[in-house]
Structures are given as structure tokens and as C-alpha cells.
Structure 1
Amino acid sequence: MIMACVKVTLRKRAISKGRLSLYLDYYPAIRNPYTMKLTRREFLGIYVYKKPRTELEKEYNHEVLNKAEGIRAIRVQSLINDQFGFLDKHKLKADFLDYFYKIALKKDQKWMMVYAHFEKFVNGRCLFEDITVDLSRKFRSYLLSAKQLKHTKFPISQNSAASYFSTYRALLKLAYRDKLIFENINDFLESIETVDTKIEYLTLEELKTLAATPCDISVLKSASLFSCLTGLRISDILNLRWDNIIPASEGEFCMRLKTEKTDTETTLPLSNEALQLCGKRSNGRVFKDLERSMTFQPLKNWVASAGIKKKITFHCFRHTFATLQIALGTDIYTVSKMLTHKNVSTTQIYADLVNEKKRESANKISLK
């Protein structure tokens, strides 16, 4: 253990071109806990003029010496607290992006999305020594103005930016815990505020009306109603294959799949009506001809032809499923599992949209 009586002195050493290199002298020598070697000197990588000639050189010497003295004071405090991270210089040269990627692989898809944005932000290169408060604040600004990676015409939403920056701050916390960065940068960062968004959904009557309304694209209608009956996202419906639909007990069927957004493996029950919307069983994708582009203007045209004035997107069908399930009595924990939410608190927003709950069977949402 390093005793508090270790003396740290700022010293100078003559180098080329009439300069003096500044270093710290530790007495007695201190042991580097990473290399187990004793050391007395820490070169700061800064210099002053040996014989300043101009007022500018004198002012430079004064400012640099003050900064060096500040470093010396920090080192004394670190020694008192038995913190020796400043001795492990090679850590600062390690690849921060590599660390980020390995952590993200163990997490969910959102972490990989944040990693992709950060890699783009730093142009594919970032060391631990580059991780500063200033860089982190610039990344915060980047997220508030950046475009989506998959759909490059659309900006990242405010709430997505808030979630991404929260993930980045969680990474900084891990790096600080692992002693890969020597400052708790989060203490100097402000989170991105989320904004309240209106959750739009269809009532049961509106859903029945939409189901009875013809659609120019039959697969769009089938997939939309399938989402209302299962709560699946468009990404999971596009990826849904017949191999994912398997027999369950008593002649029923279920879906075994891995959700794209959260990378969660789950098994979900499938009602008879939802199964009928899938059509005749075959190989490959269930909704073969469905394209994401259909969920924009063609979807708007179909909803408008049903006389529904609400601004309905495909994701609103997921909201419809959740809201109707809770309104018809399904407990929030079950709905949370059906939506593959990791926290019940995420599902709570749907409970806030309804006033009455009734408990019924799994096939309570009906289009007939």
C-alpha cells in the first residue's frame, strides 16, 4: 500500500532546442500495480522554454507550469486514495471501438445500433484516450441531428436519440468501472430529454370496419390485420417464415421466433383467425409479397377508404393489439410477454389508455 507521505515534485529536464521537459518525481518510488515495477518518474509530455526571450514565451511558460502543477496536485490526491490508473499508459492507447463492439455483442440490438452510429461519428477510429467530455457532448449533438442508418431519409427521433445516448452513457459507466477510463465522464454530461408522443390505435369497432374494407393490396391487408391480432412489429412480420409457425397443444398453433428489434427469442400463441390470415401453408416467408414500402402511402389510402380519420401507421396495429387486450381484460404482465417487452413498465403506457378491463379468453379480439 502506498503511504500518504510519498512526495511528488515537479521537475525539469533539458531537451533539444532550448526546451525543458516537465516530469513528476515520486519519492520514495511507487509500484505500478499493473507491471509491478517501481517507478520514480512520470514524464508529462509537455515542455517550457529554458530561457524565455519574449513576453509570449514567458506567458506560455507561466500557463504550462500552472497546468503541470495542477497535474501534480491530482497525482498527490490519487496516491492518497490509492488510485494508480494514471500509471497504466497503455490502456489509453487501446481500441475503444473494439471494447464497445464486444460489449454490444452481449447486449441487445439497440446497443449494436448505437455502436454503428458511434463508429460512423468517429469515422471508424477511436482510442480510449479520445474519450473525453467534449467528444461525448459532440456525440450527443450528432444524435440529435443524425439520420437513421437503415432509412437514411428520416432523422433519428428525439426519443430514439435519448435512448441511444443513455446507452452510450451506460457504456462509459462500464469503462469507468473497468478502469479503462480514469474519469467519470457521466458526471459532466446531460441526458437527452424525451418527448411525450401520442399513441394512436384503433378501437375494436374501427378495427372491424377496417377488416371489412377492401384493400388494393391483399397481402398488406392480411399482414396488417395479423399485426392487430398478434402485436408483431413490421420487421418481424417481414421475417416471419412458415418454419416459425409450429403446432401447439390441442390442435392450436404458436410462433417461435427471434424478434429483430430486441433480439429476444420467444414463443407466442397464435389464434385461429391470425393463422387464417397467413393463407395456405408453404415454404419460406409467410407474407411473401409484402414489402415495407406498402406500409406507407398504400396503407394510408386503405385506412382513409375505411373512413378512419386517425393518423394510422403500421406500428399503430401493435398499439391496437396491446390496448385492446388490456381493455378486454388481459393482465398487463401477459400483454408484456406477448409484446416481448423486457420490462412491464414499458407496457404500462397501454394500461393508461383504457379505463375498464374484462378478463376473457386468448381469442378475445375478433374481426367477425
Structure 2
Amino acid sequence: NYKRVVRRVPTLELAKEIEIKIKSELISGEYFDRKQKRKEDMLMNDFFYNIYLPHAKQDKKTWADDESAFRIWVSPIIAKNPLSEVSQMDIEKIKKFMADNNKSPRTIQKTLTILKHVFNVAIDFGYLAKDNPVRKVKLPKPNNMRIRFLTVDEANKFLDLAKQKDNTLYEMCVLSLYCGLRFGEIANLHYSDIDLENERLYIRNPKNQTARVVYMPEIIKEIMAQKKSANKDSTNDSLLYLNKAGKKYDEIIRKKFNAIVNQLGLNNGISDPRQKVVFHTLRHTFASWLAIQGTPIYTIKELMGHKSLAMTERYAHLIPDIKKEAINSLTKNRLLP
């Protein structure tokens, strides 16, 4: 991992003097100290664009998000700071800069998380010999908990319109509403994930990286049976839903979804993003309906594919109060005197 460095000097005597000096500095450690100082003196902007970004392009699918966040929010504050001189106070200035520009807590959190990763790379690559300056900065906690869910009447009207306009959109909406699937999970479904005999769908690469089994109600089973019957030539590795270009569905479905939302006026007069109906509202509606009918919170957690129960507890307030019912049942069964 060492690189040979060749320097030309005018005389042999000077070359020997330089050799003696370098050997002396190697023994004392001064040579490496000076080399490390040169690394740490690299300006933040230079490190990001010359070292970090080329590495991120090979290692991260979201490298463009990193570049955008750095250019817009980080660079104006610390672009000309040497790596070693970026402090916790500088990171606080970035937070304030973003807050003053009305950026949401979620956007600030995401930007600082990216910046924290940039400094971790600097440490790993030997460009920084101190603690990560982002580590002790308190990240804002966004409250992006979705509140709105559809009523049965709203859901039925939406599905009726979706079926009239685009059958693929209709099927995707039904999968989210009655199985609680995320859009990405639906777009990644393969024919091999359908198990009609056991009435199951296999979600192999979900957002939280933990595969799970989804049980198909009758409406989903019928859709899956029709798809398998109509696409007998498709291999098990084929995606269930392909666009006209033969590729995975993307934003076009969301645009069609939003068009129906607008037609029904579901977001009229609503400014709070948590109250707006988006595709993910269907998954939220699935969990909300389960809670309303008294499904145990742990069962909802498993069906939603949540990693922790804390993520599912947002639905607990919708579950009917069963405490009184539990006491009454004890009396009814004469377990109390």
C-alpha cells in the first residue's frame, strides 16, 4: 500500500542530505506527523469533492443527495475550513442556517446525518485524527407521524375510480390497503413471491431489510391468481408489475394516484403534510382499520413489518378500550366474588 515517490535534485550531495533528513524524520516520527498535518489542513470543500464524493459514487446509491445537501447547506458555512478545524459550533451554525431558511427538522436531520458520515470517512481514511464534530450535536427529531387514514367510504370511492382509470394502479392500491404493503414492496414483487396454495405473499427486500410473510385476503388472492393465469410465460424472477418500457414502476403511479386524490378533493384545504392523502396513506389505513377492529398491537406490528413495537404504538389510541371489558368478563365468568 506504499507509493514510491521520486524527486529530482541538481546534485548527488543534495540528494544525500535529503536522504539523511528523511531517515531522521522517519525515526523520530516527524515525517508522518507532517504528512498527517497536510491531510488535516485540507479544506472541507476539497475533501468532499476530491476524496469523499468519488468514494460515495462507488459505495452509495444516494450519493447525489449527499452532494446536493453539502452544496446547498454545508458548503456555505464550512467550505473553506480545514478539516481539523471544523468544530461542534460550526455544525450548530449549519443547523441554524437551515432552520432560518425554514427547513423541516427531517431535512436538517438528514443533512447532519450525511455530514456525520462524511467525517467518519475522513477519520477512516486518515484525514482526521480527532472525534467526529457532528457526534455531539443534538439532531432534531422530526414529528412526521402520519395522522390521516381513509374512511371505508373514501376508500371505496377511491378504488372505484382507480379501477376505471388504470387497472395496475387499482391492483397496487388494493395491495397496500388490504395487505399494508409499501409502494416499494409492491414494485419489487416477483411471481415467485406468490404462494396461492397457502394464500401468502413473500416480501423479501422490505425497507427494514427483514423479510416477512403477508397473508392474502380473498380480493388479493383473486388478483394474484388472475395475474399468474394471464402471464403464464413469465418466469419466477419476473417482476409482477412492469411499466410500458418493461421496467419497474416508479413515480408515474404516484402521479396517477394524486390525480384521483385531487378529483375526489381528499386534500382540499389541508396544509399539514401529515394530514394529506398520499400513496402511503393506504398502508396507514390498513393498520388503522386493524386497530379500530380491536386487533392486538403486536399482531399489527407483525403484519406491518415494523422492527420495533414503538413504531406500531401510534395506532394504540385507535384500539377500543378493552380494560373495562376484561373486568366485566371476569365478573361474567364468576372469577370475582
The question of whether the paired residues in 2 share the 8 Å contact of 1:319 and 1:350 is answered with no
Once the two structures are overlaid, the 10-residue window that deviates more, 268-277 or 223-232, is: 268-277
Q: 1:329 to 1:299 in 2, by over 3 A?
A: same
| Amino acid corresponding to residue 150 of structure 2 in structure 1 | L
Residue deviations 1:16-53 (CA, integer Å, cap 9, x gap): xxxxxxxxxxxxxxxx9xx8x546x79999xxxxxxxx
Matched residue count? 261
**TM-score normalized by structure 2?**
0.57
Q: How does 1:324-363 map to 2 (within 5 A)?
A: 324-352=289-317, 354-356=318-320
Q: 1:189 to 1:89 in 2, by over 3 A?
A: same
Q: Is residue 2:142 matched to residue 1:194?
A: yes
1:227 positional shift: 0.8
Alignment correspondent of 1:293: 252
The question of whether the paired residues in 1 share the 8 Å contact of 2:116 and 2:132 is answered with no
Distance 1:143 1:337 in 2: 37
1:316 positional shift: 0.6
Distance 1:117 1:286 in 2: 29
The question of whether the paired residues in 1 share the 8 Å contact of 2:194 and 2:200 is answered with yes
The question of whether the paired residues in 1 share the 8 Å contact of 2:159 and 2:173 is answered with no
Equivalent position SS for 1:323: helix
Alignment correspondent of 1:17: none
The structure with higher relative contact order (CA 8 Å, sep 6+) is 2
1:330 positional shift: 3.1
Alignment correspondent of 2:14: none
Residue deviations 1:60-89 (CA, integer Å, cap 9, x gap): xxxxxxxxxxxxxxxxxxxxxxxxxxx964
Instruction: Give ranges in structure 2 of 5+ residues lacking alignment.
Output: 1-24, 244-248, 269-275, 323-337
1:349 positional shift: 1.9
Distance 1:183 1:334 in 2: 43
1:312 positional shift: 2.0
Once the two structures are overlaid, the 10-residue window that deviates more, 131-140 or 210-219, is: 131-140
| Amino acid corresponding to residue 241 of structure 1 in structure 2 | H
Q: 1:173 to 1:294 in 2, by over 3 A?
A: closer
Equivalent position SS for 1:274: helix
- Two-structure CA RMSD over aligned residues (Å): 4.8
Alignment correspondent of 2:211: 266
Structure that is richer in strand per residue: 1
The question of whether the paired residues in 1 share the 8 Å contact of 2:190 and 2:239 is answered with yes
The question of whether the paired residues in 2 share the 8 Å contact of 1:228 and 1:321 is answered with yes
The question of whether the paired residues in 1 share the 8 Å contact of 2:203 and 2:213 is answered with yes
Equivalent position SS for 2:204: strand
Q: Is residue 2:221 matched to residue 1:275?
A: yes
The question of whether the paired residues in 2 share the 8 Å contact of 1:257 and 1:267 is answered with yes
Q: 1:117 to 1:135 in 2, by over 3 A?
A: farther
Q: 1:302 aligns with which of 257, 260, 264?
A: 260
1:229 positional shift: 1.3
Distance 1:191 1:38 in 2: 42
The question of whether the paired residues in 1 share the 8 Å contact of 2:300 and 2:312 is answered with yes
Q: 1:128 to 1:339 in 2, by over 3 A?
A: farther
**TM-score normalized by structure 1?**
0.53
Distance 2:117 2:297 in 1: 28
| Amino acid corresponding to residue 117 of structure 1 in structure 2 | D
Residue deviations 1:76-127 (CA, integer Å, cap 9, x gap): xxxxxxxxxxx9647738977659968x96xxxxx864x5433445579999
Q: 1:288 to 1:44 in 2, by over 3 A?
A: closer
1:302 positional shift: 3.3
| Amino acid corresponding to residue 192 of structure 2 in structure 1 | D
Q: Is residue 2:184 matched to residue 1:245?
A: no
1:280 positional shift: 1.8
Q: Is residue 2:260 matched to residue 1:315?
A: no
| Amino acid corresponding to residue 229 of structure 1 in structure 2 | Y
The question of whether the paired residues in 2 share the 8 Å contact of 1:330 and 1:357 is answered with no
Distance 1:254 1:346 in 2: 23
Q: 1:225 to 1:286 in 2, by over 3 A?
A: same
